Amino acid sequence: MQPGLYELTLGGSTMVTLKSEGRKGEVCLTSYDASEFPKDPLERVAEPWEDCSTQVDPPRGNTMSGARQCKDRKTPMTATYTGSHTTDSFEIKGEVSQGSDENASVMRLGSGDFSIVGKRVGDCSL
């Protein structure tokens, strides 16, 4: 991917949030960020979750996939995703599941699907 300023759009119905804390935002990917992006895209564009681990599958061509797992919380959560990128855009689609027992009477307000679409719109301003 090329370094630069990327416009982000968050879709879906989960508690996944962009670092800009809205449904739309921007992120500046430096040369390093752009080269590392396929290895862990959520780290670059989404807010981190506390007490979670990340499992990232090695990128294959322009595809990427992985998961964030939060097993030690009162209500365990897992976010899995797949995606792809070009030199100036990316798309990530995923799902968040909350709770370890589907029959438990736990509210699953954070469960559901999400998408993050990014398109390069120019250079980063200093």
Determine, yes or no, domain membership for 47.
yes
| Domain hosting residue 77, numbered range | 4-121
- 34 forms beta bridges with none
Q: What is the mean pLDDT of residues 14-32?
A: 80
Determine, yes or no, domain membership for 39.
yes
Classified as helix, coil or strand, 90 is: strand
Determine, yes or no, domain membership for 111.
yes
- In tens, the pLDDT along 25-75 reads 899 999 999 999 998 898 888 887 778 888 988 888 999 999 988 887 777
Determine, yes or no, domain membership for 126.
no
CA distance 117 to 51: 26
The pTM of this model reads: 0.82
Sorting pLDDT into bands at 50, 70 and 90, what band is 81? very high
Domain count, the chain: 1
